[in-house]
Amino acid sequence: MPVPALAWVLAASLWSFAPADVDLAPPHLARATVSGRVTDAATAEPLTGARVFISGQTTSALSGDGGEYTFILPGDGWGGREVEVRAELAGYQSVARTVRLSGATTRVDLALAPGGDRGMEEAVLRAQYAHPAPPPPAGRPQAVQEAVGIDAARRVSEAARGGVSPRPRPDFNTESYAHIEEADFRGVEDNPLSTFAIDVDRASYSNMRRFIDRGMRPPIDAIRIEELVNYFSYDYPSPKGAHPFSISTEVGTAPWQPEHRLLRIGIQGRDIATAELPASNLVFLIDVSGSMQPPDKLPLLKSSLRLLVAQMRPADRVAIVVYAGHAGLALPPTSGENRSEILFAIDRLEAGGSTAGGAGLRLAYEVAREHFSREGNNRVILASDGDFNVGPSSDAEMIRLIERERESGVFLSVLGFGTGNLQDSKMEQLANHGNGSYAYIDSEREAAKVLVSEFAGTLFTIAKDVKVQVEFNPREVQAYRLIGYENRALRAEDFADDRRDAGELGAGHTVTALYEIVPAGIDGPDVADAPPLRYRGRADVTGRAASGELGFVQLRYKRPDDSKSVLVQQAFVDRGGDGSGDMRFAASVAAFGMLLRESEHAGDFSPGDVLELARGSLGDDEEGYRREFIRLVRETRAQGLLKR
């Protein structure tokens, strides 16, 4: 049966479960808004990161820089209705106000008194997370399974408050993170080349924030330092000329080891206004299995997709494929001009059943191919907690499918949701093989960042298979280590091999890489000895080694429709000094990541040192993300989540 015909059959079957008296016509799209400011009741200072809830709604809003929040209520008929508005933040007592809504916008300011501690629930969560994790399942040596009885802990706290009794059998957390072996220093004499694929993912940062906001220390392997650093924007020059990005380098002090130097490599993708982007052919592949029922999963996913739909243009098309026990087409490809139809389809999604992720992927790609736009952006957007556990859905099989489809021009991006079942390692792997990015959505604010502020970069690729290779000058550099990018490392010979897959760069995206450098002539760290070379002596270096250059950066990339790479090269030098404010802030984020990973390379650096470094390099911070980082470091130190 042709896909369009199958679409209507499956869609009709999905809607057939609705009660007979439910009106299936798209609802009126008017919205009521509640907005206000969350402050500290003792100091009147604004509070960033407070969660605001409204009675009867399954999602929440997060207060941003300045304590401001906005909550959009769906549908109409809100005028004159009473609702309860509640705010919560770790370290404060929650507060609630009952208000009567009037007009399109109602202002509700909330002041939180210090002294709350998130109650017994967080204490139980921390205690359970401290227990040793069970060994990884057979055949998955790379996976680290974290066992946490989160739902059970929640029931314990409810019982302590006079609520329900805890079940005797807990629902265990099965979050999965790929093992990361931190890179050590490498001697330049024997290892002059460092090669890696770029990474524009930011999922590790928002996932880390989720743990800290719950009063828990993130698992070590949940911390990918390059994703923490790349969560923030930096002031890199806009690209000029033929290449779709610029490359800049800077050398400053390594704050955790002042005798060492820190190299920052920055890549700035060309920004493209949303109105100028090629038409998009998007297929939302949405997990509606039973594991997606909690508010931070499918309800938050639906709110996030509504934000994305608001960016759609008439030339854009969107389809929705859902999967649970079976996969089905919930919305055939629909023009962005018909937002009411798209929003109606999103609103009707409900969770239930087991998971057939492999079948969903195949159907999503089938729909994307049938409506392929030769000049446009063709992409499947998988939104899930990563649970693929029914049907022929082995990782290897799905990766082969994704790799085949990316060669046809249909890329895959992944949005992760929820707590307790997040399959982080699997979702990152799928996005990497699909020439797309992986983001973790922990709030509507993060959804707005990924799907509104970074809309072009999330959905439109300007360069693919981007690889970086750095050659260090042995007369200037004794040893080096790349901070992060452990799962993006490449062999030196992979750099010029156009068959080797690498990272993708989206419109407006920035990529930052940091190297810690041990200058020549000082006592350096121990590095592994390499066997002597038969045909090249250690003193046999070219005359360019005396130029004062610290090293040489090379970058290869392919344009989205090309199979042959383009080479870009430039040298870099050390001009002295501690580095720019942007560089020092990136260093503070990297240092925090090292502390969370218990890295031996952090030396005596402490959370207090991270705070001092970050506060001194805050910059303009128009969006408030750097201030939020400072809040997370402060929370981590206040709650004793780090050993030092």
Which position has the token pair 């990339």? Answer: 557
> Which pLDDT value is given to residue 466?
97
Assign domain 278-445 to its CATH superfamily.
Answer: von Willebrand factor, type A domain (3.40.50.410)
Radius of gyration of the chain (CA): 25
Specify the DSSP class assigned to residue 87. E
Residue 201 to residue 219: CA distance in whole angstroms: 18
Question: What is the β-pairing status of strands 105-107 and 32-40?
Answer: parallel
User: Could you count the other beta carbons within 10 Å of the beta carbon of residue 327?
Assistant: 20
Question: What is the β-pairing status of strands 410-417 and 377-384?
Answer: parallel
> Which pLDDT value is given to residue 237?
95
> Which pLDDT value is given to residue 38?
92
For the residues 293-297, what does the mean pLDDT come to? 89
For the residues 592-601, what does the mean pLDDT come to? 96
Residue-wise pLDDT for 249-287, tens only, equals 999 999 999 999 999 999 999 998 878 888 999 999 999
**Which run of H or E residues covers position 161?**
none
HSE on the CB side for 202, CA within 13 Å?
Answer: 24
pLDDT band at 341 (very low <50, low <70, confident <90, very high): very high
Domain boundaries, the chain: 32-112, 121-173, 186-272+462-529+541-638, 278-445
> Which pLDDT value is given to residue 48?
80
Highest mean pLDDT: which of 113-122, 177-186, 290-299, 369-378?
A: 177-186
Residue-wise pLDDT for 377-393, tens only, equals 899 999 998 766 544 45
For the residues 107-116, what does the mean pLDDT come to? 87
- Please choose, from the candidates 143, 175, 205, the residue with its C-alpha nearest in 3D space to the C-alpha of residue 440: 205
Percent of the chain with pLDDT over 70: 80
- Please choose, from the candidates 520, 450, 502, the residue with its C-alpha nearest in 3D space to the C-alpha of residue 305: 450
Burial 515-546 (b: 16+ CB within 10 A, else e): bbbbeeeeebbebeeeeeeeeeeeeeeeeeee
- What would be the CATH architecture of the domain defined by 186-272+462-529+541-638? Sandwich (2.60)
Instruction: Please state which of the four CATH numbers 2.60.40.1120, 3.40.50.300, 2.30.40.10, 1.10.10.10 is assigned to the domain occupying 32-112.
Output: 2.60.40.1120
pLDDT band at 536 (very low <50, low <70, confident <90, very high): very low
- Asked whether this chain's domains 186-272+462-529+541-638 and 278-445 adopt the same fold, the reply is no
